[in-house]
Chains A and B, each alone.
Chain A
Amino acid sequence: MKQAILLVLLHLFMGVTYAQTAFKRLTLSVGKGSEIAIITGNASVDIQGYDGDYIVVEHAPARQKTTSLQDGLTEVALNNRGEEDSVITYTAVEKNNLFKINITSNWKHLSIKIPNTTSLFSIQSTTLMPEAELRIENLMCPFSVDVSMKTISITNVSGPFAVKSYSGKVILKNISWKPNVRWTSSPFPYVIRSKNSDIDIHFPDSLKADFSLRTVSGQIFSGLPITPDLKLNGGGIKILIETDNGNIFLRKSVN
């Protein structure tokens, strides 16, 4: 009896752990307001927000990015090069409405759908694939990004958000900037940081913002009427943008 009670208590404290199994398409049911944290491996990732109740992970067609460097050349077959597995494996732990999911796959391009009712979504990834790209589109919940990929492209999102890039260029367009939102304890609901790459953000004409801009050895270029005290249209939403070695481009949105 004592052992049985001990086992139940152990289960409750550790949360629910999902067994690792191979899938072609992974579907996990999440309740409204859940927090979702995803870790991916060596792959490009497309994140789409949608109106649904499941996390959906599946293989996406590889992006055939041919550069001009390949012109006139033929691919050379290498010894024992592994084929892409046609499965996804994952481990997931759910505790107190937080889903932590670690995804493993040999596919080089994954598609992940996230419910827009998520209270907080985060993605972490370090991939060394030469052309790896993270794309986030149509996501209308707060989110956090901590990745090392060649390009991070974020479009049609609302945030608030924190984006951290090690070496990939960060491009943001069509952001529905929200006034009067908080991001944890930080005074900045919108944070964009890169270590070694450029940050390129498009802003609507009418946005009222207070910028905090910092750089170690890059340059900052603006196409917006920012005043010397770094306010746009009299100030408003606090936006922190900083980079060590890249440049910052603040552009006017083109409709």
Chain B
Amino acid sequence: MKSFFLALLILASVKEICAQSISNKIVVSLVGKKDKFVKVQVLGGSAYVEGYEGDDLIFEPVSVDGLNASSDTPTGMTNITGLSTKFPSPAINAPNPRVSEDELAMLLIFRQSNQNVVRIKVPSSVHFRIALSNPSPDAKLSVKDLTGELEVSSDAPITEISNTSGPLLFGSSGANVGKLVRISNINWDKLALNSSKRKFWILGAFGDIDISLPENLKATLDIVNKSGNVYSDFKLTPNSQGPAKNEKNSIISDINGGGLTIMLRTETGNMYIRKQK
């Protein structure tokens, strides 16, 4: 009897600190840890990140139309991948995700094959960083419904960010050309109230930036685009601030008299700044 209760106690405490695998879901508790900077790195595949009102980080493999390459055999063709020589892929060893943490931050590294898609549910108010590493043509990162400070890093061809209200820093990684980051439905009113100095920085590097802004938003657009072009249906003309005389390929422009600073940078992509519909 004593052994039985002892075993129960041990099981209960192990459940507190380890990621749980329930069916295909992996659950990492953030109880007592929501003040930490939570960083998730996804290696391979695509990722859909959603904020929610809860206390756990949840990793769940999903099937998304058009994103699971193995289901997208073109008409009239046969998948013959099995006949080919495969270079060895990095082994996905348990535990997955691998978790490490200190007093200030928690890092989770999640590996999956390039054909897989993972949905990651995140308590919406945490200070959160998501990085997706997968430059293959089918990869996609989607991030939405988060209210805390957010950092996004992606080398996927398509990244979408929507319905966020905290400060945002986006950085495109990798040297592939032809990437696109699409940003829409940001809660600008809440963001304007945030005391952070770095409120909205989009650093596109080698890709396009497509951002939708409310037509009546008071903002100052600080734009540098070294090789690509900038297109807009706002009337963007240089304001009295500058840019500095020797600053090339740039413009600082106010919309609706100016206000919140939105920084947009890209080395080689185009920028599309549009009125939100």
Chain A residues near B (Cβ < 8 Å): 42, 69-70, 72-82, 128-130, 132, 148-150, 166-169, 196-198, 212-223, 226, 228, 230, 244-247, 249, 251
Decide yes or no whether B251 CB sits under 8 A from chain A. Answer: yes
Give A216 to B113 CA distance when docked, in angstroms. Answer: 10
Tell me, in angstroms, the Cα distance from A228 to B74 when the chains sit together: 20
Are A247 and B230 in contact, with the CB atoms below 8 A? no
Assess whether A79 is in contact with B81, with CB atoms less than 8 Å apart: no
Q: How distant is B236 from chain A, measured CB to nearest CB, in Å?
A: 5
Q: Please report the C-alpha to C-alpha distance between residue A166 and residue B155 in the assembled complex, in whole angstroms.
A: 14
Question: Which residue of A is nearest B180, CB measured?
Answer: A69
Q: Is B114 an interface residue (CB 8 A)?
A: yes
Q: How many Å lie between the Cα of A47 and that of B268 in the bound state?
A: 23
Which single residue of chain B is at the shortest CB-CB distance from A216? B87
A residues near B73, Cβ cutoff 8 Å: 221
Chain A positions within 8 Å of B175 at CB level:
128, 148, 166-167
Nearest residue in B to A69 (C-beta to C-beta)? Answer: B272
Residues of chain A with a CB closer than 8 A to B80's CB: 213, 220-222, 226
A128 touches B231 (CB 8 A): no
Nearest Cβ in chain A — how far from B205, in angstroms? 9
> Which residues of chain A are near B227, meaning CB under 8 Å?
42, 128-130
Q: Are B223 and A73 in touch, CB under 8 angstroms?
A: no
B247 & A80 in contact (Cβ 8 Å cutoff): yes
State whether B135 touches A196 (Cβ < 8 A): yes
In angstroms, Cα B174 to Cα A244, docked, is: 15
Going nearest first, the 6 A-B pairs with the smallest beta carbon separation are: A245-B136, A73-B231, A128-B268, A217-B114, A167-B176, A213-B84
- Within 8 Å by CB of B248, from A80, A150, A246, lies A80
Instruction: Please tell me if B270 contacts chain A, counting CB pairs below 8 Å.
Output: yes
Give the CA-CA distance A91 to B248 in the complex, in Å.
28
Q: Which residues of A contact B86 (CB under 8 A)?
A: 214-216
Is A130's CB under 8 angstroms from B270's CB? yes
Whether A79 contacts B251 by the Cβ 8 Å rule is yes
Report the interface size class on chain B. Answer: 35 or more
Complex Cα distance A34/B178, Å?
36
B137 touches A (CB below 8 Å): yes
Q: Are B177 and A221 in contact (CB-based, < 8 A)? A: no
Closest residue of chain A to B73, judged by CB?
A: A221
Contact of A70 among B84, B206, B248, B272 (CB under 8 A): B272
Smallest CB gap from A227: residue in B: B83
A70 to B270, CA, bound (A): 10
Interface residues of B in 163-196 (CB under 8 A from A): 174-178
Evaluate contact between B136 and A246: CB separation under 8 angstroms: yes
Do the beta carbons of A221 and B77 come within 8 Å of each other? yes
* Residue pair A249, B81 in contact (C-beta under 8 Å): no
The residue on A at minimum CB distance from B248 is A80
Query: Which residue of the partner chain A has the closest CB to B44?
Result: A217
Q: Are B267 and A128 in contact (CB under 8 A)?
A: yes
Q: Are B177 and A149 in contact (CB under 8 A)?
A: yes
Q: When the two chains form the complex, which single residue of A168, A198, A219 contacts B79, counting CB atoms closer than 8 Å? A: A219
Task: Apart from A76-B236, A81-B249, A246-B137, list 20 A-B contacts with CB within 8 A.
Answer: A76-B231, A76-B251, A78-B230, A78-B249, A79-B247, A79-B248, A79-B250, A79-B251, A80-B247, A130-B270, A214-B86, A215-B81, A218-B69, A219-B70, A220-B84, A221-B73, A221-B74, A221-B80, A222-B78, A245-B135
How far is B35's CA from A193's CA once the two chains are assembled, in angstroms?
Answer: 47
Smallest Cβ distance from B34 to chain A, in angstroms?
35
Determine if A196 and B176 form an interchain contact, defined as CB atoms under 8 angstroms apart: yes
Q: List 12 A-B contacts (CB under 8 A).
A: A76-B251, A79-B247, A128-B227, A129-B268, A132-B177, A167-B176, A213-B85, A214-B85, A215-B86, A220-B80, A223-B76, A245-B135
Chain B residue, CB-CB nearest to A72: B233
Write out the residue numbers on chain A whose beta carbons fall within 8 Å of the beta carbon of B85.
212-214
Interface residues of B in 219-261 (CB under 8 A from A): 223, 225, 227-233, 236, 238, 243, 245-251, 253
A78-B267 in contact given A70-B272, A130-B178, A245-B114 (Cβ < 8 Å): no
Question: How far does the alpha carbon of A96 sit from the alpha carbon of B214 in the complex, in Å?
Answer: 64
B125 within 8 A of A: no
Q: Determine the chain A residues whose CB is within 8 A of the CB of B149 once the complex forms.
A: none
| Chain B residue nearest in CB terms to A217 | B114
Mark each residue of chain B from 50 to 90: 1 if its CB lies under 8 Å from any CB of chain A, else 0. Answer: 00000000000000000001100110111111011111010
Q: Which residue of A lies closest to B69 (CB)?
A: A219
A158 to B181, CA, bound (A): 39
A219 proximity list for chain B (CB < 8 A):
69-70, 79, 81, 115
Q: Shortest Cβ distance from A61 into chain B, in angstroms? A: 17
Contacts of B223 in A (CB 8 A): 76, 78
